[in-house]
Amino acid sequence: MARFSVSGAATAGFGVIGRAPLAVLAWGLVILVTLVGPMVGLMWTLVPQFIAFIKSMPEPGSAAATPGDDPAMLARMMQLQSSLMGVNAIGWVGGALVKGVVVGAVFRAVLQPDQKRWAYLRLGKSELWLALVTLVQGILFMMAYFAVAIGGFILGMIVYLAGAAMGDGGKLVAGFLIVLVVLAAAGLLIWGVLRLSMAGPMSFAEGEFRLFESWAFTRGQSGRLLGMALLMALILIVLEIALYAIVGGGVVLAVVASGTGEGLTEILDPLKGQPPEVWLRASWPLIACGAAVLSVIAAFAMALVGAPWAKAYQELAASGAGKA
């Protein structure tokens, strides 16, 4: 039976980072220039609309009309929502394309480690198929999520009503059964995600759209894939806690070094009583630095999250997974 190393796959991202740290930084630059930077810029263009909407809202506790009663306020709210939906759509599609390129680089670093030029980055059919399968997987997941949620809610209501009709004991049993229904629904959704989890690596490696082919490829591997995902999640949680501790400690040391916050007070005092536009202009350098740091962190996270699936695919393919 085809097998792969759960621990070896879960930690494959560290191997990628260790072999090509500069490539990971290049991926962060790509994320910053092609996704995070443009998205921050688009959101920045919406700031005037947002500020205008906030300023037009009635004071709390006043008898002024609510947004639903004020046509002008309702129009501003609808315009803002429409703009946000447009930005979200651009971010969704653009994010899938950038993910196709960057995660494709991660996959290439695992599957084709000798292809080091341009930091493993390419934009070809493999990346485009990977971006497309990512979009399709996202749509299928949302459809499955709502189907499972609605089906579970209906079944849970039936169980609850049946239990309520039998008195207090019936309610207790119904509550227990509802918990089982919720767990079963979540388990079904996770199982489906795991069975289709090889679609990305397969599409990238074969240079063609692969989705349901992953179902046969992962037959008998759900438990190992779940173990890999849980171990990978545990690693990410530990790293996240460590990152928060480092950042928090750095902030504390900076405050102490500046004289119990006197430096921060000198920065904030001139902004007191200023309109939101002034605060936003003053915070622009901080936002820019945050976007850069976020992009680098995202690149390392993509390496840690993407490499395990490529490694699992590599080992399963080598051991004959999916073959009759």
pLDDT of residue 231: 95
- The reported pTM is 0.79
Can you give the pLDDT at residue 128? 92
Q: Which residues of the chain have pLDDT under 50?
A: 65
Which pLDDT value is given to residue 175?
Answer: 74
Residue 297 CB neighbour total at 10 angstroms: 14
- What is the per-residue pLDDT for 233? 93
Cβ count near 95 (within 10 Å): 20
Q: Tokens at residue 150, please?
A: 């609605």
Residues sharing a CB contact under 8 Å with residue 304, sequence separation 6 or more, in sequence order = 13, 14, 17, 232, 235, 236, 239
Q: Which amino acid belongs to residue 246?
A: I
How many angstroms separate the CA atoms of 114 and 101, rounded?
17
Q: What is the distance between the alpha carbons of residues 245 and 264, in angstroms, rounded to a whole number? A: 21
Residues 6 or more apart whose Cβ sits within 8 Å of residue 72: 56
Q: Which two tokens stand for residue 120?
A: 């493993």
User: What b-and-e string marks burial along 194-209, b requiring 16 or more CB atoms within 10 Å of the CB?
Assistant: bbbbbbbbbbbbeeeb
- Phi–psi pair at 72, nearest 5 degrees: -65, -45
Find out whether 232 and 306 touch, Cβ atoms under 8 Å.
no
Residue 130: per-residue pLDDT: 93
- So what's the pLDDT on residue 51? 65
> What confidence score (pLDDT) does residue 289 get?
84
Count Cα neighbours of 32 within 13 Å in the Cβ-side half-sphere.
Answer: 18
Cβ-Cβ contacts under 8 Å for 120 (sequence gap 6 or more): 20, 23, 105, 106, 108, 109
